[in-house]
């Protein structure tokens, strides 16, 4: 009989073998890094069948800043089932188990990068971010020719790249960070693939590579638009003999409007999905008024301590959990949610949560 259990150190080799079977694109360096830095005896759960590890899930604890308040959240990653045991509900069991664990830990939010959006929607997740690949014709970017170029030297300290990402996050209200260990692995993985990395001290950096007749920008990070201008100018002035510039959009999307040229093509690269786990906590830190009762799925919420007099007639607004997640994270406005049947407004009032840009900038 199959069982879910917390993985221990003695299970690491089984975990390593299963991940290599399910994710053959992972390099040995990436797997060794995970084993040394992310395998633990707290956050990995697996399903065993006669002591054979057939399915696994990872909970990544995160501390997030939401409206200047620290909250705990959990990323879900490495969801994998051995090919011989797929389509039997094992991943579903693990996801439900992980959700229950995160609720017990008091996590307010959970996020993941889906392999299939429709699969995770069944668990209450909704899309909160998308990364796009944007292509421009280099000949249309000649206005960058006179811009100041960045220094040719590349900082070698991982802390410089981390500082650049922190500055980027503060400027654009993002809330997930890479620590130095993850950043070191990230930078090293690009170096192994012969990408070039250029930086402006700790204020921004760009990671790029010549691919056929194009310059492919895998990541561009900047503290402000002046730094973005310099990074783009460097790319153009050194590589304007290329036919195209291809950029994976940063999660603030500003670059699409900032580049003064129509793009040739946009295609989706990666979705990001989230789910609010603690509605009451999220309401409290967004200063939701105590005289408004809302319903999220089947639960009624109001900040006022005395709820004995609250009836269904007092409900001002009713959300699905997907709609509430998108609203509270600033992804969709109430009007947009009405169009998708994610909200029912019963009392026409002005609500205090406004649509704003608030994205996550990690993919798990």
Question: What CATH number is attached to the domain comprising 95?
Answer: 3.40.630.30
Spatial neighbors of 291 by CB under 8 A, at least 6 apart, are 304
Residue 99: inside a domain, yes or no? yes
Note whether residue 123 is domain-resident. no
Co-location of 30 and 107 in the same domain? yes
Q: Are residues 284 and 328 in the same domain?
A: yes
Query: Is the residue at 119 inside a domain?
Result: no
Same structural domain for residues 9 and 94? Answer: yes
Choosing from 271, 295, 322, the residue where a domain stops is 271
- Position 306 in a domain: yes
Asked if 47 and 54 touch (Cβ cutoff 8 Å), the reply is: yes
> How many structural domains comprise the chain?
3
The Cα-based distances of 209 to 61, 215, 255, 330 in angstroms read: 33, 6, 19, 34
Distance CA 14, CA 360 (A): 31
Rg (CA), the chain: 23
Q: Which of 52, 82, 112 is the last residue of a domain?
A: 112
Strand order in the sheet with 109-112: 3-6, 44-49, 52-66, 69-81, 109-112, 265-276, 126-137, 244-248, 214-222, 204-211, 196-200
CB neighbours of 11 closer than 8 A, spacing ≥ 6? 44, 46, 53
* CA 74, 77, 82, 86 torsion-angle sign: positive
Domain span at residue 47 reads: 3-112
CA–CA separation, 44 and 15 (whole Å): 9
Q: For residue 254, count other CB atoms closer than 10 A to its CB.
A: 16
DSSP state of 150: P
In a domain, 124, yes or no: no
- Edge-to-edge strand list for the sheet holding 343-345: 299-301, 293-296, 315-319, 343-345
The burial class, CB within 10 Å (0-12 / 13-18 / 19+), for 312 is exposed
5 vs 39, 43, 57, 138, 233, CA distance in Å? 15, 11, 11, 53, 52
Same domain, 55 and 169: no
Which helix (H) or strand (E) covers residue 356, if one does? Answer: none
Same domain? 259 vs 313: no
Does 166 share its domain with 78? no
Q: Using the 3D structure, point to which of 112, 142, 170 is the last residue of a domain.
A: 112
Q: Give a yes or no: residue 122 inside a domain.
A: no
CB-based burial label for 22 (10 Å; 0-12, 13-18, 19+) = middle
Q: Are residues 78 and 163 in the same domain?
A: no
Per-residue pLDDT of the chain (364 residues; tens, 9 = 90+): 678 999 999 998 899 889 888 887 777 777 777 777 778 889 999 999 888 999 999 998 887 767 667 788 999 988 999 999 999 999 999 999 999 999 999 999 999 988 888 999 999 999 888 888 999 998 888 888 766 656 555 556 677 787 787 777 666 555 455 667 767 777 887 888 889 888 887 788 899 999 989 999 999 988 888 888 888 888 888 888 889 999 998 877 788 888 888 888 998 888 889 999 999 888 888 767 667 788 899 888 776 555 556 666 678 888 999 999 988 887 787 888 888 889 888 765 555 554 444 433 332 2
Answer yes or no: do 48 and 96 share one domain. yes
């Amino acid at each position: 009989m199959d069982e879910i259990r917390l993985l221990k150190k003695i299970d690491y080799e089984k975990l390593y073998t299963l991940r290599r079977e399910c994710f053959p694109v992972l390099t040995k360096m990436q797997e060794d890094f995970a084993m040394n830095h992310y395998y633990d005896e707290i956050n990995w759960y697996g399903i065993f069948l006669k002591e054979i590890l057939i399915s696994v899930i990872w909970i990544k604890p995160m501390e997030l800043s939401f409206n200047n308040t620290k909250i705990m959240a959990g990323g879900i990653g490495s969801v994998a089932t051995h090919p011989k045991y797929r389509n039997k509900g094992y991943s579903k069991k693990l996801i439900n188990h992980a959700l229950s664990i995160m609720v017990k830990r008091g996590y307010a939010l959970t996020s993941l990068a889906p392999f299939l959006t429709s699969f995770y929607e069944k668990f209450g997740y909704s899309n909160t971010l998308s990364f796009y690949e944007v292509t421009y014709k280099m000949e249309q970017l000649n206005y960058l020719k006179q811009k100041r170029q960045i220094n040719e030297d590349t900082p070698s300290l991982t802390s410089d790249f981390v500082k650049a990402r922190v500055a980027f996050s503060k400027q654009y209200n993002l809330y997930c960070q890479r620590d130095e260990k993850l950043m070191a692995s990230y930078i090293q993985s690009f170096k192994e693939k012969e990408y070039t990395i250029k930086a402006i001290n700790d204020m921004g950096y760009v990671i790029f590579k010549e691919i056929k007749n194009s310059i492919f920008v895998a990541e561009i990070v900047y503290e402000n638009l002046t730094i973005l201008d310099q990074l783009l100018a460097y790319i153009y002035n050194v590589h304007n003999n290329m036919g195209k510039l291809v950029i994976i959009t940063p999660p603030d999307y500003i670059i699409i409007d900032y580049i003064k040229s129509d793009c040739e093509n946009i295609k989706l690269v990666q979705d990001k999905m989230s789910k609010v786990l603690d509605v009451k906590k999220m309401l409290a830190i967004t200063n939701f008024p105590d005289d408004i009762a809302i319903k999220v799925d089947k639960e009624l919420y109001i900040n006022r301590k005395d709820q004995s007099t609250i009836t269904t007639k007092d409900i001002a607004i009713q959300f699905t959990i997907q709609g509430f997640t998108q609203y509270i994270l600033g992804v969709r406005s109430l009007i947009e949610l009405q169009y998708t049947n994610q909200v029912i407004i019963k009392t026409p009032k002005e609500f205090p949560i406004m649509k704003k840009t608030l994205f996550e900038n990690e993919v798990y």
